[in-house]
Amino acid sequence: MTGTVTEENQTGVLMILVTGASGQLASRIVTHLHALGADAVGGSRSPDEHDRALDFDVPATLDLTGVDTLVLVSAGYAEDDVVVHRHSTVLEAARRDGVGHVVYTSLVGAGDHLAFALAHRATERLLRNSGMRWTILRNGLYAELVGALLSWEEAHLVSPFGAGSIAAPTRDDLALAAALVAADPPGHVSRVHELTGPPFAVLDIANELAAPVQELSLDEYRRGLLDTPGMQPFQPPMLTSIASSIRHNMLAGHHPDLADILGHEPGNGLEAAAASAISTRPG
């Protein structure tokens, strides 16, 4: 089901605001909305000339007046209480300022066991109880993220993922899906979409790159994360839960929702993951 921009969008009556506009997903959503002819703007704590100032941690900046559809891109990496408080504050502002529809980028349902799932599910509950119209986009883990979580030891690709597979979509496909939904929200009211791509084995990334694999156990992976300078306390459990989930094929299930929204089959997650992995190779 492909989205279309309503007449109000084309005349500028309805306005779409996308949070986290400085991030890779949100910036792509804004770009796709503009390509669809939508009246869209990004919101960011560090806005450029085209964005609106919007800082989840500073409630005074949360002016959503005139916004018809809010695309709430998850507030990023932090402890659960911080993330849920940020989302709650934004949703309160949306209700106060008369936002008509909220599109939330959540986490794929198969990821309930991931260490960062709770904040997403708590936000989904807040949204369902908000009294506003809503759509939940349960995004699979980005293919680009899977590739970036691999590392290199000389010519060897270092992996904690074993022989596991994952149905990881590309970030751009998820951004386009969000834009299509936000551009035509009436067709998605009270819908929960599970957005995944064609599954691939993480070992296939090494085959794509013709690189031998150096495998890590989960214990070795966690210990390495704990020794990484600048790693925040919540990050090793989060990243290890991703590695364990992929290793044990907990994220390999494919759903048709992404193709239904896009109107075509999703892009090749394996190629995107391989490109991400090779970009981190030293030298």
Q: Does residue 206 form part of some domain?
A: yes
Contact 257, 194 (CB under 8 A): yes
Q: Does residue 1 form part of some domain?
A: no
Q: Which of 59-63, 141-145, 185-189 has the lowest mean pLDDT?
A: 59-63
* Residue 229 CB neighbours (<10 A): 4
**Over residues 64-70, mean pLDDT:** 97
Q: Does residue 4 form part of some domain?
A: no
Q: Does residue 7 form part of some domain?
A: no
Condensed to tens digits (0 to 9), the pLDDT of residues 83-97 reads 999 999 999 999 999
Q: Does residue 10 form part of some domain?
A: no
* Residue 161: closest CA among 173, 151, 169, 153: 151
CA distance 122 to 126: 6
pTM: 0.94
Strands 200-201 and 165-166: antiparallel
31 DSSP β-pair partners: none
Q: Does residue 181 form part of some domain?
A: yes
Domain that holds residue 110: 16-279
Whether the per-residue pLDDT at 241 is higher than 90: the answer is: yes
**Over residues 36-53, mean pLDDT:** 90
Whether the per-residue pLDDT at 260 is higher than 60: the answer is: yes
State the residue for tokens 């386009």: 176
**What band does 13 get if pLDDT is binned at 50, 70 and 90?**
very low
Q: Residue 48: what pLDDT?
A: 82
**Over residues 29-37, mean pLDDT:** 98
Q: Does residue 232 form part of some domain?
A: yes
Tell me the one-letter amino acid at 98. G
Q: Does residue 208 form part of some domain?
A: yes
Contact 84, 98 (CB under 8 A): no
Whether the per-residue pLDDT at 7 is higher than 50: the answer is: no
Condensed to tens digits (0 to 9), the pLDDT of residues 152-168 reads 999 999 999 999 999 99
Contact 257, 188 (CB under 8 A): no
| CATH number of the domain where residue 21 is located | 3.40.50.720
**What band does 14 get if pLDDT is binned at 50, 70 and 90?**
low
Q: How many domains does the chain have?
A: 1
Write out the chain in H/E/C secondary structure: CCCCCCHHHHHCCCCEEEECCCCHHHHHHHHHHHHCCCCEEEEECCCCCCCEECCCCCHHHCCCCCCCEEEEECCCCCCHHHHHHHHHHHHHHHHHCCCCEEEEEEECHHHCCCCCHHHHHHHHHHHHCCCCEEEEEEECCCHHHHHHCCEEECCEEEECCCCCEECCCCHHHHHHHHHHHHHCHHHHCCEEEEECCCCEECHHHHHHHCCCEEECCHHHHHHHHHCCCCCCCCHHHHHHHHHHHHHCCCCCCCCCHHHHHHCCCCCCHHHHHHHHHHHCCCC
CA distance 131 to 124: 13
